[in-house]
Amino acid sequence: MRTDYRLGIDAGGTFTDFVLADKSGQVRLYKALSTPQDPTQAIRNGLALITEDLGVPAEKIISNCDLCINGTTVGLNALIQHKGAKTGLICTAGHEDSLEIRLGHKEDGYRYDPEYPPATMLVPRYLRRGIRERVLSDGSVREALNEADVRAACEVFKAEGVETVAISFVWSVLHPDHERRAGEILREMLPDVILTLGSELYPQVREYTRTSTAVVNAYLAPIMKRYVTAVDAYFQSLGAKQPVRYYQSNGGLAIGQAMTDRSVYAINSGPASAPAAGQYVCEPFGKTDVITVDMGGTSFDITLTKGGVTNVNKNIDFLRYRIGVPMIQVETLGAGGGSIGWIDEMGLMQMGPQSAGSDPGPACYGQGGAEPTVSDANLVLGYLNPDGLVGGRLPLDAKLARAAVKTKLADPLGLSVERAAYGMFTIVNANMVNGIRRVTVERGYDPRDFVLVGAGGATAAHICALAADMGIDTIVLPKLASGLCAFGQIISDVKYNYMATAPLRLDNDAAYARIDSLFNEIEAQGIAHLKADGFARKDIDIRRSLDMRYVGQVHECTVEIGTFKVDAKSIAKIKEAFHKRHEELYTYSERHSTVEVVNIESTVYGRVDKPKRMALGKGTPVAKALKGHRDAVFSADGKRVKTPVYDGGLLGTGAKIAGPAIIEEVTTTIVIEPGWTAALDDSGSYLITRERKGG
Amino acid sequence: MAKAAKKPVKVDPITLSVVRGILETTQREMTLSLEKTARSSVFNLAHDYSTALFNAVPEMILQGQDIPIHLGSLIPAMKVVAGYFGDDIHEGDLIIHNDPAWGGSHAIDTCFYRPVFWKGKLKYWTVCKGHLTDVGGPVPAGYNPGAKEIYAECLRIPPVKVWDRGQPRKDVLNFILTNMRARRDQEGDFNALIGACQVGERALLNMLEKYGEAEVDACIATLLDMAEKQMRGLIASVPDGTYEGAAILEDAGHGFGDFEIRAKVTIKADTCHIEISSPPQIPYFINSYEGNSYSGVYLGLMMFAQLPPPYNEGLYRCVTVDMGPKGTLCNAREPAPHMNCTTTPMETLTDAVRLAFEKAVPSKVSASWGHANGLNIAGWDKRHDEEYVTMVLATIISGAGATPSQDGWHACGPECCFGALTSGDVELLEYSYPIIIHRYSLMTDSGGAGKFRGGSGTAWEVEPLNDDMTFITFGEGRRIPAVGAAGAASTMTDEKVGRLELVKGGDAKTIRENVIEVIKPGDRITNMNPGGGGYGDPMERAVEKVVWDVKNGLVSLKGAKEDYGVVITDAATLAVDMNATKALRADRRAGAN
């Protein structure tokens, strides 16, 4: 970092977090209310907070930043609220409805529900125009592009005021010429329309996925373009030296133009920086297998990194829309501080997914909320300070919390208030653990091999319990937990995904040569793109993966491979990696069966210098940081235990605290359960560990 | 949300919630494993499989979100299989079974049963069932419209151990696989099914280790009791009495004429007795053995109960079923041929039960969904010099029935699957099989008319890529449209039903029967599936909604007028003559009364 600052801005549902790192390694966290109606307003407000705190005008900070990074929910919100642009689709005649047929499936969980509505169409049927043309499964042209059909579609779009168009033909991935030609005609007839080609955006097999991805991209592109233009202009007016970088759901940065061309990469960028942050805070402890969990007010996000590689999803339904492009795998549950406890029709206690949100909020906020929430339970259990959160700025009412737990849960279930509250704590933890199972066990990973990193304001009260439930013995909890995602953005690299498709059986030299040349081809594109972004070749890294399967299977397993030449010699290594992964996931492999490759992907990274690591230095002795005691509950019998409470702000490097204990940081409260010990590291994180019982 | 609480349960309510979550996660893990590893497109693209967990009794302790076809039949099948082996069940055993006379559904749905032992004691069964692409017999893919007996359909597999105390019985597996077409795919699917059983086993053992046997046992017993209580509560809310429903099963080419299937539902306090009557079994592949018929009855019940997951056997404790005498269409006995039974007659049986419940509780009803009429295809794949055979699930995607609150989903059926299937990506299908899919689309005017419209059916048009292709049609719903609810009825019915359009050697014809034919490159078939039934009087459908459907090509100008009484005077602007519309709608209502 050659300049004074680096700034990360992460827009969340309630707050927009600002993380400002300076040359010395100090990191400051600011929070401004999000302003979904005018997202740039929150940025102005946040910069005002920073100016107020540091006494330095915004222009001075921004012009002294080496990078300004923005994680935005603009695309996400447009998709959630169906407020994207008016979109048209050009597709192969006969296949206009794949978008609406959605593979003929109704989502699980609603099988007999008579009121679960179909997904809202981003492009209504009359704007999905079929074109006569056809490429076959071997890439040959069966029917040439009918240009008159394309022109007729353009006329319809013109008359209807369509702003953005996706073009996606069957098998265009093997023969993109028809899409390209249709695009030329469109540009000529509708020069102002934003264009998305399926074969460029997502060059992989699966027509429905490609078409849907292209449509989501087209639908969001004009919205993203307007936003990026406004933000870029604002930062330029403040004297920014570099273009603003935007955070993508693939866990990397991009410049504004890429966000317009590839808007679909913007949709879940919020939690996508968690893995980078998790890895970063674990580095001082030499740990590379990391699960990062982020519990906020309404949701709980889980991400996983193994050996420095983060799990990525492709071809998933996101908000009911099929998205092909790689997104950091984020498992999101309705479990947060505001999650409501209730009793279902069977008489079982449930937690969430409904949330009291921030209005009225948990009962203990005293804003009229009457439903018992996780925060209320944590207050009853003695975990949270009744004097209030965020350094007393948000006072809590323990009486209201107790009353809500008692009337809604404890009395109906015949339990004491403490037992009911501990039950709420246990069930919400169990929900989160089942979510963690989905990213670990279901994907063939043993959670016990991982370190658990806590992010988000509400996680720290639950982190020991979660770790214990998963059999995890090591936790890393940064003091900065509540702004960890924004921090993750400022230590991330620029990242673009390049893909190709080549369904090839791995039993001949020609196939190996083809795979090798495809890798080289797409990587050349990626390198050119990054060079244009200002990266030197030495700062560009490449990672490769192959989607493979046994011949006859239809779903692939993604396997990371090195950047070696793919040939008859190295292929054994590749196949072996696949067999192993298949075993991990599904308990067996078929070493005698032929393996085939379907999709090819290279991720190109433009390496960004990292800010200097924080050095905490000495603090007061632990005994001096003791603020007092609270009677807290750590067991299902509801028994209260006198528990010391520490002021985390006073602790320094090397401080060691054994549970049961509570450590209060300004933006989070850490509960150290009995049996666990927290040690504060110079890097600003608590390393929380326990002796594993019975080996 | 939170309703008034019931009295407290005996087990720790917290552990109970946790155990329930683990059971659901376990079943999900099995399902995912199966889907990702399977060879058969019927599994991995179409989700035509089910996974379930049983206790040692064996009672079903959890069934997933999978397909209703398998909803009921796993329960009797598991009991038959466990009963057959009695004490001869050991750690490391694995049992295969497909036969309907031994409690199965149809023989192409092959099932693996894995006993799960804990400290030397049988605790659970993990069970996976899936539709293979072939199961031997004279006709590829198992559906033989010419079969007069079950022996002319398939390889019958009664309960057989394929693993004995951890040792795979290679000879037995080889014997079974030798009898099947496209062996590589069948073998891969066996591995996938077995792998999924083991995935389930792994998770259940973890649960026992963590929470202890006694605690888990108590929780599972309580979950079964709670489900029972829930269904009893629902049934108790229905006025006591006897309600009857009847549905017509059309003659799909057997020549015996149309049949009627009747259901009599008797509600007494919190119990429900369902009595089925159906005609004598016939020498045609639409007979349903008892296990399969349970699925049809339970689906009709669930269309009324509308319960969210999880599901377990406790739900059915207050429900008794009499399938009628042995030797009837819905309670078949050997040697009745049966392969088509999971759709035909199951969907008609389901309709009869749901119509009885519609009489009992008119407010809790969904219109019938389109029935399945689909295609199996087979031939030689010259690209790889190997045989191919499969059911094409994309050919049975019909429209869903409308409900009292909304239009039916498009392309979501058939009724027997209730949205659980997926049809598979067009490119993946063309990659896996030597075919060209020219069209996969919704169909104008196919959704049943109603205040809420039935969902649109689909058309699937295919041509063989480079060699002869055999196709076999199955199912029905090609003459009688999906039954509407609450007075819904369509005027234009031809567009609402399924049919197959064949263009062969330049000649076109429409097929409404179950046939086996061979076509060549250049020939084409288009299989069309029915739309769902509508809900309520179509003359009450908002005019704007009809116009919007016309704009989107889901309803034609003619359909708007005939089915909905909406007179559109300008095809370009879709302007409506409101006076003429009012008059026509009044006329129609008067005519209907």
Looking at the complex, report in whole angstroms how far the Cα of residue B256 sits from the nearest Cα belonging to chain A: 33
Asked if residue B161 is part of any domain, the answer here is yes
Domain residue ranges of chain A, discontinuous segments joined by +:
5-78+225-270, 82-220, 494-606
Asked if residue B2 is part of any domain, the answer here is no
Q: Decide: helix, strand or coil at residue A106.
A: coil
The CA distance from B232 to A686, in Å, is 53
Q: Which of B199, B354, B403, B428 to mutate to test the interface with A (most CBs of A within 10 A)?
A: B428
**Distances, alpha carbon A391 to alpha carbons A83, A295, A482, in Å:** 38, 19, 13
Secondary structure (DSSP) of A226-251 = HHHHHHHHHHHHTT-SSPPEEE-TTS
Give tens-digit pLDDT for A576-587.
Answer: 999 998 888 888
Report the complex ipTM.
0.93
Closest chain B residue to A343, measured at CA: B2
Give the nearest partner residue to A136 out of B47, B309, B436, using CB atoms: B436
Chain A environment of B545 (Cβ under 8 Å): none
- Total domain count for chain B? 3
The CATH number of domain A82-220, selected from 3.40.1360, 3.40.50, 2.60.40, 3.30.360: 3.40.1360
- Structure confidence at residue B2 (pLDDT): 37
Q: Which of B409, B458, B547 to mutate to test the interface with A (most CBs of A within 10 A)?
A: B409
For helices B557-564 and B543-551, angle between their N-to-C axes, nearest 10 degrees: 150
Residue-wise over A676-691: b if at least 16 C-beta within 10 A, else e? bbbebbebbbbbbbbe
Q: Decide: helix, strand or coil at residue A557.
A: strand
Lowest mean pLDDT among A37-41, A231-235, A361-365: A37-41
Which residue range is the domain that position B406 belongs to? 366-536
pLDDT interval class at B8 (50, 70, 90): very low
Looking at the complex, report in whole angstroms how far the Cα of residue A47 sits from the nearest Cα belonging to chain B: 42
Are residue B402 and residue B512 in the same domain, yes or no?
Answer: yes
Are residue B498 and residue B388 in the same domain, yes or no?
Answer: yes
In A308-355, at which residue ranges do the beta strands (DSSP E only) sit?
A: 309-310, 312-313, 316-318, 321-323, 327-328, 331-333, 339-343, 349-355
Are residue B588 and residue B447 in the same domain, yes or no?
Answer: no
Q: Decide: helix, strand or coil at residue A290.
A: strand
Are residue B120 and residue B190 in the same domain, yes or no?
Answer: yes
Q: Position A513: which residue type?
A: A
Instruction: Say whether B403 and A588 touch across the interface (CB within 8 A).
Output: no
Asked if residue B125 is part of any domain, the answer here is yes
Chain B environment of A205 (Cβ under 8 Å): 425, 427-428, 431
Q: Decide: helix, strand or coil at residue A533.
A: coil
Looking at the complex, report in whole angstroms how far the Cα of residue A99 sits from the nearest Cα belonging to chain B: 10
Looking at the complex, report in whole angstroms how far the Cα of residue B512 sits from the nearest Cα belonging to chain A: 23
pLDDT of residue B4 exceeding 70: no
pLDDT interval class at B137 (50, 70, 90): very high
The CA distance from A339 to A356, in Å, is 6
Looking at the complex, report in whole angstroms how far the Cα of residue A136 sits from the nearest Cα belonging to chain B: 7
Give tens-digit pLDDT for B386-411.
Answer: 999 999 999 999 999 999 999 999 99
Give tens-digit pLDDT for A405-434.
Answer: 999 999 999 999 999 999 999 999 999 998
Which one of A196-200, A248-252, B308-312 scores highest in mean pLDDT? A196-200
Give tens-digit pLDDT for A661-675.
Answer: 999 998 899 999 999
- Structure confidence at residue B6 (pLDDT): 41
- Structure confidence at residue A393 (pLDDT): 62
Give the nearest partner residue to A117 out of B184, B406, B440, using CB atoms: B406
Q: Decide: helix, strand or coil at residue A28.
A: strand
- Structure confidence at residue B1 (pLDDT): 35
Domain boundary among B516, B536, B556: B536
User: Percent of chain B beyond pLDDT 70?
Assistant: 97
Instruction: Say whether A104 and B412 touch across the interface (CB within 8 A).
Output: yes
Give the A:B interface size as CB pairs under 8 Å: 245
Centroid of chain to Cα A690: 29
C-alpha closest to that of A256 among A523, A494, A611, A11: A494
pLDDT interval class at B332 (50, 70, 90): very high
pLDDT of residue B592 exceeding 70: no
Sequence-distant (≥ 6) Cβ neighbours of residue A152 within 8 angstroms? A129
pLDDT interval class at B10 (50, 70, 90): low
Looking at the complex, report in whole angstroms how far the Cα of residue B327 sits from the nearest Cα belonging to chain A: 32
Enter the tokens of residue A186.
């469109």
Looking at the complex, report in whole angstroms how far the Cα of residue A106 sits from the nearest Cα belonging to chain B: 5
Q: Which of A507, A553, A585 to mutate to test the interface with B (most CBs of B within 10 A)?
A: A553
Q: On the CB side of B422, how many CA atoms lie within 13 Å of its CA? A: 19
Q: HEC profile for B108-137?
A: CEEEEEEEEEECCEEEEEEEEEEECCCCCC
Give the nearest partner residue to A108 out of B29, B65, B192, using CB atoms: B65
Q: Is pLDDT larger for residue A13 or for residue B275?
A: B275
Instruction: Say whether A346 and B227 touch across the interface (CB within 8 A).
Output: yes
Rounded to two decimals, the pTM is: 0.90
Chain A environment of B9 (Cβ under 8 Å): 347
Element (H, E) at A165: strand A164-168
The CA distance from A8 to A30, in Å, is 10
Domain boundary among B536, B554, B575: B536
Are residue B493 and residue B567 in the same domain, yes or no?
Answer: no
Q: Position A292: which residue type?
A: T
What is the separation, in whole angstroms, between the first and last Cα of chain A?
Answer: 45
Looking at the complex, report in whole angstroms how far the Cα of residue B326 sits from the nearest Cα belonging to chain A: 31
Sequence-distant (≥ 6) Cβ neighbours of residue A37 within 8 angstroms? none
Q: Is the peptide bond before A353 cis (omega within 30 degrees of 0)?
A: yes
Q: Scanning the structure block, which residue is given the tokens 């026509």?
A: B584
- Structure confidence at residue A322 (pLDDT): 96
Q: Which of B9, B11, B17 to mutate to test the interface with A (most CBs of A within 10 A)?
A: B17
Asked if residue B286 is part of any domain, the answer here is no
Chain B environment of A342 (Cβ under 8 Å): 1-2
Sequence-distant (≥ 6) Cβ neighbours of residue B78 within 8 angstroms? B52, B54, B58, B60, B103, B113, B125, B127
pLDDT interval class at B7 (50, 70, 90): very low
Give tens-digit pLDDT for A513-564.
Answer: 999 999 999 999 999 999 988 899 999 999 999 999 998 887 888 898 999 9
Asked if residue B199 is part of any domain, the answer here is yes
Instruction: Say whether A413 and B302 touch across the interface (CB within 8 A).
Output: no
Please indicate if any CB of chain B lies within 8 Å of the CB of A112: yes
pLDDT interval class at B9 (50, 70, 90): very low
Residues 143-202 of A with CB under 8 A from B: 170-171, 173
Please indicate if any CB of chain B lies within 8 Å of the CB of A101: yes
CATH node for A494-606: 3.30.1490
Q: Are A246 and A270 in contact (CB under 8 A)?
A: no
Are residue B404 and residue B421 in the same domain, yes or no?
Answer: yes
Q: Which of A91, A92, A106 to mutate to test the interface with B (most CBs of B within 10 A)?
A: A106
Instruction: Say whether B4 and A552 touch across the interface (CB within 8 A).
Output: no
Q: On the CB side of B562, how many CA atoms lie within 13 Å of its CA? A: 13
- Give the strand order in the sheet containing A640-647: A626-633, A640-647, A661-664, A669-672
Looking at the complex, report in whole angstroms how far the Cα of residue B33 sits from the nearest Cα belonging to chain A: 6
Are residue B548 and residue B529 in the same domain, yes or no?
Answer: no
Asked if residue B254 is part of any domain, the answer here is no
CB neighbours of residue A178 within 10 Å: 27
User: Percent of chain B beyond pLDDT 90?
Assistant: 83
Instruction: Say whether B554 and A349 touch across the interface (CB within 8 A).
Output: no
Please indicate if any CB of chain B lies within 8 Å of the CB of A510: no
Are residue B478 and residue B551 in the same domain, yes or no?
Answer: no
Instruction: Say whether B425 and A423 touch across the interface (CB within 8 A).
Output: no
Chain A environment of B3 (Cβ under 8 Å): 343-345
Asked if residue B320 is part of any domain, the answer here is no
Asked if residue B170 is part of any domain, the answer here is yes
Mean pLDDT of A430-457: 86
Q: Are B574 and B564 in contact (CB under 8 A)?
A: no
Q: Scanning the structure block, which residue is given the tokens 């326990």?
A: A690
The CA distance from A597 to A545, in Å, is 10
CA dihedral angle for residue A458, residue A460, residue A466, residue A472, rounded to 10 degrees? 150
- Structure confidence at residue A695 (pLDDT): 36
Give tens-digit pLDDT for B243-275.
Answer: 999 999 999 999 999 999 999 999 999 999 999
- Structure confidence at residue A692 (pLDDT): 63
Instruction: Say whether B412 and A106 touch across the interface (CB within 8 A).
Output: yes
Give tens-digit pLDDT for B185-238.
Answer: 899 999 999 999 999 998 999 889 988 999 999 999 999 999 999 999 999 999
The CA distance from B159 to A368, in Å, is 62
Chain B environment of A441 (Cβ under 8 Å): 29, 203
Mean pLDDT of B135-158: 95
pLDDT interval class at B65 (50, 70, 90): low
Looking at the complex, report in whole angstroms how far the Cα of residue B557 sits from the nearest Cα belonging to chain A: 15
Please indicate if any CB of chain B lies within 8 Å of the CB of A209: yes
pLDDT interval class at A74 (50, 70, 90): confident
Looking at the complex, report in whole angstroms how far the Cα of residue B517 sits from the nearest Cα belonging to chain A: 24
Centroid of chain to Cα A683: 24
Are residue B493 and residue B559 in the same domain, yes or no?
Answer: no
Instruction: Say whether B21 and A430 touch across the interface (CB within 8 A).
Output: yes
Give tens-digit pLDDT for B109-124.
Answer: 999 999 999 999 999 9
Catalogue the long-range contacts made by A25-30 (C-beta closer than 8 Å, 24 or more residues apart): A25/A611, A25/A612, A25/A613, A25/A614, A25/A615, A26/A614, A27/A480, A27/A487, A27/A611, A27/A614, A27/A684, A28/A53, A29/A480, A29/A482, A29/A483, A29/A486, A29/A487, A29/A667
Are residue B36 and residue B140 in the same domain, yes or no?
Answer: yes
Mean pLDDT of A333-347: 87
The CA distance from A623 to B125, in Å, is 56
Are residue B44 and residue B174 in the same domain, yes or no?
Answer: yes
Instruction: Say whether B16 and A95 touch across the interface (CB within 8 A).
Output: no
Q: What is the mean pLDDT of chain B?
A: 93
- Give the strand order in the sheet containing B499-504: B435-442, B458-464, B524-528, B499-504, B507-511
N residues, chain A: 695
The CA distance from A521 to A544, in Å, is 13
Domain boundary among B229, B248, B269: B229
Q: What is the mean pLDDT of chain A?
A: 91
Enter the tokens of residue B27.
């079943």
Are residue B461 and residue B582 in the same domain, yes or no?
Answer: no
Catalogue the long-range contacts made by A579-586 (C-beta closer than 8 Å, 24 or more residues apart): A581/A444, A581/A557, A582/A550, A582/A557, A582/B37, A584/A444, A584/A445, A585/A443, A585/A444, A585/A557, A585/B33, A585/B36, A586/A444, A586/B33, A586/B36, A586/B37, A586/B192, A586/B195, A586/B196, A586/B199
- Does domain A5-78+225-270 fall under CATH 3.50.30.30? My reply is no
Instruction: Say whether A94 and B432 touch across the interface (CB within 8 A).
Output: no
Q: Is pLDDT larger for residue B94 or for residue A347?
A: B94
Closest chain B residue to A346, measured at CA: B226
Give tens-digit pLDDT for B71-105.
Answer: 678 899 999 999 999 999 999 999 999 999 999 99
Q: Scanning the structure block, which residue is given the tokens 């090798």?
A: A516
